[in-house]
Amino acid sequence: AAKNGGRNRFETYRDGMLEDEANKRLLEQDLSEALDADQLELWYQPLYSLPGRTLTGFEALLRWRHPQRGIVSPAEFIPIAESSGMITSIGAWVIDAACRQAALWPDHVYMSINVSAIQLRSAALVSQLAQTLTKHCVSPKRIEIEITETAMVENSAQIALTLTSLRALGVRIAMDDFGTGYSSLAHLRAFKVDRIKIDRSFIAASTSDPGAAAIIRAVVSMARELNIDTTAEGIEQESQLQNLLELGCGTAQGYLLGRPLVCDEADAIARTQMQLRLRLAPN
Ligand code: C2E
Ligand code: MG
Ligand code: MG
Ligand code: MG
């Protein structure tokens, strides 16, 4: 309806804004019922170590199976969950579901969980994660918490404390989408992280833009000096993978190696690649 030939640009823009706002409100309303209605699910994208392409873990990625809209992307509803405060309960559900799934996989397969800056601002996150790990008998060593640079920019004392407590618990911290936010190297010093995930925009440019390749090389070597692991995000082409191998990146993630999978498919990969027989307990 927004694209109506009879209207001028200005009106179209305004209508678009109104539609956006109305759409957001509708989604927000629906989202408030999504947890209770069992519409949220986690998909799992495999992570492979280089150069051997060994499965090392999975990143849990949230999906909303909306009854009318189908699968809604987290890029669309996470901001709504954050602005409405629902991220706290949704985030708690994500941690529980991811840990329950991790318990079904072999010990050397780790689970990477995205958390929002809002979750990091609350002291409850650490105790909640600790309780969930105990509940599902999962070692903290198998859990990685992914945070974005934006969270670190806030530079609040509470976030620093949460990150320190998380590491004291024994989980690892990954800095997600590295290079897209307010990349200040000071954050790397102020907040100890165990992994840097190089944003896929650098990977996409790495084969055509020498500048992007140089940045990746510099990040990888800096990380090595700091004893930090690196993951390249969003590998879609074999040539990008070859490039990253040469640049010395430790872990790879992307559609080329594996898309986010529903849990049964991820289970199958964990089982085959690890050549381990998993006995899924009925539960
Ligand atoms: P992210 O944490 O950076 O996750 C990686 C995103 O890149 C995922 O999008 C994944 O599907 C996509 N991706 C992976 N490989 C490729 C590739 O080769 N090419 C391209 N084009 N994309 C690739 P997704 O699942 O739509 O998630 C988007 C973002 O939503 C995530 O970015 C993360 O910031 C957020 N998110 C997802 N799940 C959660 C969650 O449980 N909690 C929170 N707080 N945020 C989440
Ligand atoms: Mg992530
Ligand atoms: Mg990322
Ligand atoms: Mg991203």
Q: What is the mean pLDDT of residues 117-137?
A: 95
Is the pLDDT at 33 greater than 60? The verdict is: yes
Q: What is the pLDDT of residue 280?
A: 40
Cα 103 from Cα 136, distance rounded (Å): 6
Give me ligand 3 centre to Cα 18, in Å: 30
Residue 230, ligand 1, Cβ within 6 A:
no
Each residue's pLDDT tens digit, 165-203: 999 999 999 999 999 877 677 788 888 899 999 999 999
Is the pLDDT at 115 greater than 60? The verdict is: yes
Identify which ligand lies nearest to the alpha carbon of 94.
1
Q: What is the pLDDT of residue 228?
A: 96
Residue 220: pLDDT band with limits 50, 70, 90 = very high
Residue 52: pLDDT band with limits 50, 70, 90 = confident
Pick the residue with more confidence: 136 or 17? 136
Give me ligand 2 centre to Cα 114, in Å: 5
Is the pLDDT at 11 greater than 60? The verdict is: no
Is the pLDDT at 79 greater than 50? The verdict is: yes
In DSSP notation, the chain reads ----TTS-HHHHHHHHHHHHHHHHHHHHHHHHHHTTTT-EEEEEEEEEETTTTEEEEEEEEEEEEETTTEEEPHHHHHHHHHHHTTHHHHHHHHHHHHHHHHTTS-TT-EEEEE--HHHHT-THHHHHHHHHHHHTT--GGGEEEEEEHHHHHT--HHHHHHHHHHHHHT-EEEEEEETTS---HHHHHHS--SEEEE-HHHHHHTTT-HHHHHHHHHHHHHHHHTT-EEEE----SHHHHHHHHHHT--EE-STTT---B-HHHHHHHHHHHHT--------
Residue 221 CB contacts under 8 Å (≥ 6 apart), including other chains: 248
Give me ligand 2 centre to Cα 25, in Å: 26
Residue 43 Cα: closest atom of ligand 1: 25
Q: Which residues surround ligand 4, an ion (CB under 5 A)?
A: 177
Residue 104: pLDDT band with limits 50, 70, 90 = very high
Is the pLDDT at 278 greater than 70? The verdict is: no
Q: What is the pLDDT of residue 272?
A: 82
Its pTM stands at 0.91
Residue 46, ligand 1, Cβ within 6 A:
no
Cα 50 from Cα 209, distance rounded (Å): 22
Give me ligand 3 centre to Cα 210, in Å: 22
Is the pLDDT at 4 greater than 60? The verdict is: no
Q: What is the pLDDT of residue 157?
A: 84
Residue 114, ligand 1, Cβ within 6 A:
yes
Residue 148 Cα: closest atom of ligand 1: 34
Share of the chain above pLDDT 70, in %: 89
Residue 255, ligand 1, Cβ within 6 A:
yes
Q: Which of 78, 111, 237, 239 to mutate to test the pocket of ligand 1 (most atoms within 8 A of CB)?
A: 78
Each residue's pLDDT tens digit, 225-265: 999 999 999 999 999 999 999 999 999 999 999 999 999 99
Q: Say what the ipTM of the complex is.
A: 0.98
